[in-house]
Structure 1
Amino acid sequence: MADFLFEIGLEEVPARMIAGAQAELARRVSALLERERLVGAGTSAKSFSTPRRLAVLVSNVAERQEDAAEELMGPPVKVAFKDGAATAAAIAFAKKAGVAVEALRTVTTPKGDYIAATLLKAGRSAAEVVAEELPKELAAIYWSKNMYWRAGKPERFVRPVRWMVALLGSEVVPVAFGGKAAGKVTYGHRVLFGDAAIALEAPVKYEEALLTAYVIADVEARRQKIRKALDRVTRTKEGARWREDHELVDTLTHLTEWASDRSVILGGFEPEYLALPEEVLVTVMRDHQKYLAVEEKTGKLAPHFLAVLNTEAEDKGLAVIRHGNERVLRARFNDARFFWEFDQRVPLKERTKLLENVTFQKELGSYAAKATRVRGLALGLAELVTARGGRVDAAALDEAATLAKTDLTTELVKEFTELQGVVGGLYARAQGVSAAASDAIYDQYLPESMEDSVPRTVEGSLLSIADKADTIAGMFGLGIEPTGSKDPFALRRAANGIVKILAESSLPLTLSEVAGRATENEAVETRVRAFLIERLEFYLRESRGQAYDVVKAVLAAGSDDVRDAVARAEAVTAVRSSADFEAVSAAFKRIKNILAQAKGELGMGAVADGLAADHPAQAALKLEASRVGEKVEHLRASHQYVAALESVATLRPQVDAFFEQVMVMDPDEKVRRSRLALLASIVKSFSGIADFSEIVTAG
């Protein structure tokens, strides 16, 4: 056994692509070694990445495959032999298997007798297997964008390959990809270490060797080093703290190879810029300069920022770098201040006509047309909410929907597109628009991800749903739907947002109502509703952490009311570990199988009640199912789902006795139909919360 190390060195890879590629490389290498019988099942691999490299280290890799016996199936015996003599079919099969005709065996299968041969497959060396298979795995790694870099050569990759390391123990594995052959030489930090080659003695020396060359290959170690450096540098300014931003720290981690106190600078800017909205200042620092904001103890923004460098310098050098970063930020702030003041000359209410010149989608028209559709949809949904006792400020919603997209015509949004919606809300507030309308405009794009919060107000939630639903309905109407990994109009994200709002707000709306109000075509409505249900399934699994069988069981019982589906899923999860509930779930699976097989008999008319032939166990189940059914229906109506499911589980003794003592498919037609009808009524009565037959049970 030996350790296996593979590293591919590249030109700098965009930070957003690194984490996924690192995980995929580790997964592919592990799967390759397991598939080729070079490691045991479930072997873990440690992966590494920096902007210039992806690497994976796997322990206990066999240096050679074990020989394996493989059974090959041939033609039927009656084709392979005629009157005891081998036919051409048998001879050809024996030649293919590499054995004599006399070595062929007869194997009996459900389809009849076939000839077979045992092929002894000699194991190959790990180096030979990896050299042959690993380039295929590299070529299959998914990149959102990749490139050709060698004229006339077929390979494509995210960036040009500059070097590769492939070591099994101390021996080089001859992997070739992208015009480069693997060796045992890697490279350190481009600036701090230069172009000197680093010869690796063994895979386990990889991290240590790179540390001496100013590269922290372990991503988590580099992240923690950056965070500690941020803490220490910020403490030099009394009362200051850096504003937590996990996403930006992740980005900075993937932009750097090295981190130390001398890799972080604390810069400042003139306090006068604090007169600009905080959202504008933070966006300029975060999204355009990759700077972390600094705040006072009160949480108020301070006139400072933190920059993380992919290098380090002495005090004099840091001062020069700090000055340069401050000068760049000052220029960006000046631009933002100019745009903020310039845009205010034309109020949002006067910008609605300008939306006619801003295209939403060439076949769906301008943003002015979209604003009109969204306004009608939002007000229509508001009527449903009001009719069910909800409170909506219709005037504020109307105004918000009318002005929602006008900030797309402002210079500030043209320069800082990340602020669309936010700028509209800020301008609306500054121009005297009501707080309810301003907040709705500000929140209209929320949630942009499953980690985002939903809009703060009912009006904001309705505007967000209407905007997203209009986009989905319009694109589906044009036949533009997400396929595989392609979703150019981010329709999945829009649908995720609708589901999240309905799940985490108090809006009494269903998916059918949203789909129905957003579309005018029945076929499109059906597809949109199915799409929203698919995203509800995703939400329950990924955001709520529900097991796939629980999600399937719950949605089979109803998927229109999102908040109700969430509550039912949580209730099923809460009781599924109960032995009684598991037994009842298994019984429901059995019941549904029986009913499926007897489907033709269930529609043959009414069944006489209380037949004399009723078995005592059948009568007991019928009585208890009726009693529990009434209780469950009462609990279900008041959304007490845990209590309702616990009541369903109390049927276990009667259900067990029924299946132990009663033959459902009795030869007597009346008796058989009576028992089938009882089982059908039980399924109907108790499947309102979840389809219990979908729950995976032991065995």
Structure 2
Amino acid sequence: MTSKNLLVELFVEELPPKALKKLGEAFSSVLADSLKAQGLAGADAVVTHFASPRRLAVHVTAVAAQAANKAVSQKLMPVAVGLDASGNATPALLKKLQALGADASAVAGLKRAPDGKAEALFYDSNVKGATLAEGLQKALLEAIAKLPIPKVMTYQLESGCELPGWSSVSFVRPAHSLIALHGSDVVPVQALGLNSGNSTQGHRFEAAVSPVVIKDADAYAATLTKDGSVIASFAERRAEIVRQLAAAAAKVGGGCKPIDDDALLDEVTALVERPNVLICEFEKEFLEVPQECLILTMKANQKYFPLLDAANKLTNKFLVVSNISPEDTSFVIGGNERVVRPRLADAKFFFDQDRKKTLASRVEGLGKVVYHNKLGTQGERVQRVRAIAQGISHQLRDLALLAQADTAAQLAKTDLVTDMVGEFPELQGIMGGYYALNDGLPEAVAHAIEDHYKPRFAGDALPRNDVGVVVALADKLETLVGMFGIGNLPTGDKDPFALRRHALGIIRMLVEKDLPLELNELVGMAFSKFDMATQLGFDDEIAPTKTTMVKGDVIAFDGAAGAALSDFIYDRLAGSLREQGYSAQEVDAVLALRPQRLGDVPKRLAAVRAFAELPEAPALAAANKRVGNILKKAEAEAQAEVLVNTNPGLLKEAPEKALHAALESVGREATFEFNDGNYAKSLQLLAALKAPVDAFFDGVMVNAEDPALKANRLSLLKSLYKTMNRVADLSKLAT
């Protein structure tokens, strides 16, 4: 069967730049997968995708002109339905065969095979493979239908261009031409009111010819570059921009480098067909404005690449990725410099105006900003964050920390009512830090205000000082408690209030800072600060249940909400640990005990991993699981009250005496090491219990007829179980 390389291109008007990369990948992968599924392309076919502002294309190697025929066995019906008592075909069977293009002569060749409890008839046939025109038509329509397009537009086809049945089309952007080449042959397919051909358009302004004729599938990229002045490959165009940015920065000198921003780089790659990087500059007086403001306005509004010096400080130079390459670039450079100047002037104006009022004077304004219709205003929220921050400071027993944390918590949200953050919401927290320093507040407070949103994303830095950690914990706890209290929980892949990120932020701070805070106590305290129902079911010291009015609604913060939040945090912790490379067994073993000090979790995991490498570990884990099952059964039989202390006088058999003696010795040492935080050593000491545990189960009947003996042996096992499971639930390691 003839095999050639295939090229498909859909030429359209400018595609959404932020979506282009995904559109190109989806178009190529779906089309190629469909060809492979139909047998027109092999599993090892090389798929190359192209995506530029005005085209989506894919190149697939070794595509057959027609797929090979394949044998198909099709179930028809149960034998009892298809054949009568004499073995002749029933009308139902004949009708089914007729629908498949066969007649009564095929009855003799039908196969019988078991199908569940009954026997069924199967019809074997040889299905002709699809032609490339048929298969590509199906693949093309499927690829278009499955493009990740959030919104489509409907447009009319040009007069005289529409195909039968096509007068208007719904697609992400108007489509103008379609290429489908198998080698040099045009494959006759249709899509979006277009017939396939072998020509496309190049660069809007710099193409050498129009239209650009593609003579062969393999000549696509080279022809577009030569005749169309277009780099069709997204990856190659991106790499060329990176190269030119680096070269331009080196030309500026002084160790300058363009800002590192992959999202911006992808977006700019999607805006140009043939990049040309130019060096521009703005007045140095604008550098008096915090560089985050200037960088953001240049990136977000103009898609420029600011230049940083060797110390990562913003310079007054920036790089523009132009889509044209004129001989005289002064007009392009001058135009971009004129465009950016008003943007920077606005940023300077906002900064100057904001500094005329202190952050403290803005606190009252937060009472007019709605946070959530059930949770009140930002002003009310700030009071809760302050209360939680005070509670954390008390739990840390640091009164000096308390005063600064309270000040930072009170002012942390005030930049929300500044002009700068109103224009650039991404700068919240950052601007608060600058304005705090402008107000003469301590650096620790200013940094805490800036850092209290951290970590904002995976891999982000934690707050740089203890004040920031306390306020960040309080802020995230307030959000989690509030949303769990009103039942506003994440579902599936939807998490509008970023509760998963908040939980992971709390986990990272508790673990990486190794804070001496217990999770249930922390969550319980946070719930109590809402002055709402706070009966969480954790500890008796938590405040009694009560309710309060919030904007006219009665919100019940009950034990279910508290337990759900605790579970949520442990679930996020488990997922994070597995992503870090710990096995599911290791994670389950440690978290089964719900350790309250999350800073201990890494040490416990390391101890479990070291224990699992001991030769005695498998037997001890299996014995631990067996002991746990025995104790559960005993509790179910209402004998839990006798499982208190082992009475040495009731130890009759030598193995139980030996186990008791080993527990007395090993237990003391293991407990000492555990209390000293030496979890690995505590677990390693358990290796000495293997022999006495094995001997106990080999030579002692736990369920003795004498109730006193049985209760004492259960008590001995309970002591064993407690000793073995201080660091982790070792039964989770049993295979």
Q: Does 1:132 align with 2:160?
A: no
Separation in structure 2 between the aligned mates of residue 103 and residue 696 of structure 1, nearest angstrom: 52
Judge which range, 391-400 or 409-418, deviates more: 391-400
Aligned partner of 1:436 among 434, 440, 444: 444
Aligned partner of 1:266 among 279, 292, 317: 279
What whole-Å deviation, never above 9, does each CA across 1:428-456 have from its counterpart, x for those lacking one? 11111122211111112222211321111
Separation in structure 1 between the aligned mates of residue 317 and residue 373 of structure 2, nearest angstrom: 44
Separation in structure 2 between the aligned mates of residue 82 and residue 675 of structure 1, nearest angstrom: 70
What whole-Å deviation, never above 9, does each CA across 1:32-65 have from its counterpart, x for those lacking one? 3444445555766333333333334333445414
- Alignment match, 2:565: 528
Separation in structure 2 between the aligned mates of residue 17 and residue 103 of structure 1, nearest angstrom: 52
Judge which range, 505-514 or 230-239, deviates more: 505-514
Q: CA deviation at 1:400?
A: 1.1
What whole-Å deviation, never above 9, does each CA across 1:543-568 have from its counterpart, x for those lacking one? x3556666556544547654444555
Separation in structure 1 between the aligned mates of residue 169 and residue 694 of structure 2, nearest angstrom: 63
Cα 1:598/1:653, change in 2 over 3 Å: closer
Aligned amino acid, residue 358 of structure 1: V
Secondary structure of the residue aligned to 1:235 is: helix
What does 1:468-617 align with in structure 2 at a 5 Å threshold? 468-509=476-517, 511-519=519-527, 520=533, 521-522=557-558, 523-542=560-579, 544-546=580-582, 551=587, 555-556=591-592, 558=594, 561-568=597-604, 603-604=636-637
Q: Does 1:188 align with 2:225?
A: no
- Alignment match, 1:304: 317
Separation in structure 2 between the aligned mates of residue 257 and residue 532 of structure 1, nearest angstrom: 44
Separation in structure 1 between the aligned mates of residue 208 and residue 461 of structure 2, nearest angstrom: 45
- Alignment match, 1:122: 127
- Alignment match, 1:340: 351
Cα 1:28/1:492, change in 2 over 3 Å: farther
Q: Does 1:47 align with 2:49?
A: yes
Cα 1:40/1:650, change in 2 over 3 Å: farther
Judge which range, 122-131 or 83-92, deviates more: 83-92
What whole-Å deviation, never above 9, does each CA across 1:453-503 have from its counterpart, x for those lacking one? 111122212222322332333334444333334333333333343333334
- Alignment match, 1:411: 419
Identity %: 31
Cα 1:195/1:29, change in 2 over 3 Å: same
Q: Is the 8 A contact 1:584 1:655 kept in 2?
A: no
Aligned partner of 1:375 among 356, 365, 386: 386
- Alignment match, 2:161: none
Separation in structure 1 between the aligned mates of residue 563 and residue 278 of structure 2, nearest angstrom: 55
Secondary structure of the residue aligned to 1:304 is: strand
Q: Tell which structure's C-alpha radius of gyration is larger.
A: 2
- Alignment match, 2:539: none
Judge which range, 92-101 or 515-524, deviates more: 92-101
Aligned amino acid, residue 448 of structure 2: A
- Alignment match, 2:543: none
Q: CA deviation at 1:650?
A: 9.8
Q: Does 1:19 align with 2:21?
A: yes
Cα 1:164/1:274, change in 2 over 3 Å: same
Separation in structure 2 between the aligned mates of residue 467 and residue 153 of structure 1, nearest angstrom: 56
Separation in structure 2 between the aligned mates of residue 179 and residue 70 of structure 1, nearest angstrom: 38
Judge which range, 356-365 or 599-608, deviates more: 599-608
Cα 1:385/1:362, change in 2 over 3 Å: same
- Alignment match, 2:337: 326
Cα 1:133/1:270, change in 2 over 3 Å: closer
Separation in structure 1 between the aligned mates of residue 481 and residue 566 of structure 2, nearest angstrom: 10
Cα 1:470/1:135, change in 2 over 3 Å: farther
Secondary structure of the residue aligned to 2:119 is: strand
Q: Is the 8 A contact 2:415 2:428 kept in 1?
A: yes
- Alignment match, 2:408: 400
Separation in structure 1 between the aligned mates of residue 729 and residue 628 of structure 2, nearest angstrom: 14
Judge which range, 521-530 or 337-346, deviates more: 521-530
Aligned amino acid, residue 350 of structure 2: F
TM-score by length of 2: 0.76
Aligned amino acid, residue 480 of structure 2: I
Judge which range, 171-180 or 236-245, deviates more: 171-180
Aligned amino acid, residue 380 of structure 2: A
- Alignment match, 2:290: 277
Aligned amino acid, residue 233 of structure 1: A
What whole-Å deviation, never above 9, does each CA across 1:56-110 have from its counterpart, x for those lacking one? 43334454145043363854x677777565796983896477652762413275x
Judge which range, 329-338 or 131-140, deviates more: 131-140
What does 1:87-98 align with in structure 2 at a 5 Å threshold? 91=93, 95=97
What RMSD over aligned residues (CA atoms) do the two structures have, in Å? 4.9
What whole-Å deviation, never above 9, does each CA across 1:158-207 have from its counterpart, x for those lacking one? 44444444444444455544434444434333332288233334443333
Separation in structure 2 between the aligned mates of residue 421 and residue 273 of structure 1, nearest angstrom: 21
Separation in structure 2 between the aligned mates of residue 437 and residue 130 of structure 1, nearest angstrom: 64
Separation in structure 1 between the aligned mates of residue 586 and residue 243 of structure 2, nearest angstrom: 42
What whole-Å deviation, never above 9, does each CA across 1:558-595 have from its counterpart, x for those lacking one? 4765444455556667898x69699679x85x996998
- Alignment match, 2:59: 57
Count of equivalent residues:
680
- Alignment match, 1:198: 212
Cα 1:198/1:517, change in 2 over 3 Å: farther
Cα 1:504/1:655, change in 2 over 3 Å: same
What does 1:357-368 align with in structure 2 at a 5 Å threshold? 357-368=368-379
Aligned partner of 1:228 among 240, 243, 251: 243
Q: Is the 8 A contact 2:624 2:724 kept in 1?
A: no
Secondary structure of the residue aligned to 2:154 is: coil
Judge which range, 293-302 or 366-375, deviates more: 293-302
- Alignment match, 1:422: 430
Q: CA deviation at 1:252?
A: 4.7
Q: Is the 8 A contact 1:635 1:643 kept in 2?
A: yes
Aligned amino acid, residue 208 of structure 1: A
Aligned amino acid, residue 330 of structure 2: A
Cα 1:66/1:547, change in 2 over 3 Å: farther
Q: Is the 8 A contact 1:18 1:254 kept in 2?
A: no
Q: CA deviation at 1:371?
A: 1.2
Aligned partner of 1:218 among 233, 252, 258: 233
- Alignment match, 2:34: 32
Q: CA deviation at 1:331?
A: 1.8
Aligned partner of 2:467 among 438, 459, 462: 459
- Alignment match, 1:70: 73
Cα 1:293/1:133, change in 2 over 3 Å: closer
Q: CA deviation at 1:420?
A: 1.3
Separation in structure 2 between the aligned mates of residue 506 and residue 231 of structure 1, nearest angstrom: 41
Cα 1:329/1:102, change in 2 over 3 Å: closer
Separation in structure 2 between the aligned mates of residue 464 and residue 428 of structure 1, nearest angstrom: 17
- Alignment match, 2:547: none
Secondary structure of the residue aligned to 2:155 is: coil
Cα 1:121/1:471, change in 2 over 3 Å: farther
Judge which range, 599-608 or 346-355, deviates more: 599-608
Q: CA deviation at 1:268?
A: 1.8
